[in-house]
Amino acid sequence: MRNVRITWILGLALVASVGCEQGHGEDKKSQLGVGVADASARIASTQGNQVEGTVSFQKASGGIRVVARLTGLKPGLHGFHVHTNGDCSAPDASSAGDHFNPSNAQHGDRYDEQAHVGDMGNIVADDSGQASLDYVDPHMTLEGENSIVGRSVVIHANQDDVQTQPAGNSGPRVGCGVIHAGRG
């Protein structure tokens, strides 16, 4: 009788384990962007800054449509990138890592043929500190090797010169948000 109970308990544990693995696989697919049609990031300021807003990503003809709405920036141009890690926990957003660059390309502008997947150039803030951007990015995807899902969007204090390697000399990170599948 004791052996039957142990076998039954082990059987339940195996079923539960398989169920957890299947569920974990679903999460992993979502993290990798499998079957994802859109994604978004809620931008929060880094320590000592006032930046906030949203960036949305949606599949479109020719790539991914990027729509950004930000407030709290100093007037002028600000480097705007997707970074490798989906982690904005460090006070200066250094936890987001480097620009997302799966093909080891040179840093450049969003329309350069050989730019980082994460290179989105600059976003322009007006005199009131508001910035918006709406364009179709030809490099990034929401699925596969160039998927930005699970990574982060970083806004920098200064203009990205789109030439200096490896990151455009765009200065400290003033805002950061993790990119999640779906609309935020």
For residue range 39-92, what is the model confidence (pLDDT) as tens digits? 999 999 999 999 999 999 999 998 999 999 999 999 999 999 899 999 999 999
Task: Quickly state the pLDDT bin for 4 (edges 50, 70, 90).
Answer: very low
In this predicted model, what pLDDT tens digit does every residue of 79-103 receive, in sequence order?
A: 998 999 999 999 999 999 988 877 7
Grouping H, G, I as helix, E, B as strand and the rest as coil, residue 17 is helix
- Look up 78 and say whether it is catalytic: no
24 counts as catalytic: no
Query: How crowded is residue 119: how many other Cβ atoms within 10 Å of its Cβ?
Result: 29
Q: Which of 99, 110, 139, 151 is catalytic?
A: 99
Q: Is 126 a catalytic residue?
A: no
DSSP, collapsed to helix, strand or coil, labels residue 4 as helix
Provide the residue ranges of all domains of the chain, joining segments of one domain with +. 1-32, 38-181
| Confidence class for position 7, pLDDT limits 50, 70, 90 | very low
- Catalytic residue, candidates 78, 116, 139, 151: 116
Which residue is catalytic, options 78, 139, 151, 173? 173
Residues whose CB is less than 8 angstroms from the CB of residue 150 and which lie 6 or more positions away in sequence, other chains included: 31, 32, 33, 86, 178, 179, 180
What would the pLDDT profile of 98-124 be if each residue is shown by its tens digit?
Answer: 888 777 766 666 666 776 666 788 999
Q: Is residue 160 annotated as part of the catalytic site, yes or no? A: no
Q: Which of 78, 139, 151, 156 is an active site residue?
A: 156
As a whole number of angstroms, the distance between CA 92 and CA 108 comes to 23
68-107 as b/e, with b when 16 or more CB fall inside 10 Å? bbbbbbeeebbbbbbbbbbbbeeeebbbbbebbbeeebeb
Superfamily of domain 38-181: Superoxide dismutase, copper/zinc binding domain (2.60.40.200)
151 contacts 81 by C-beta, under 8 angstroms: no
Q: Is 83 a catalytic residue?
A: yes
Tokens of 84: 């490798």
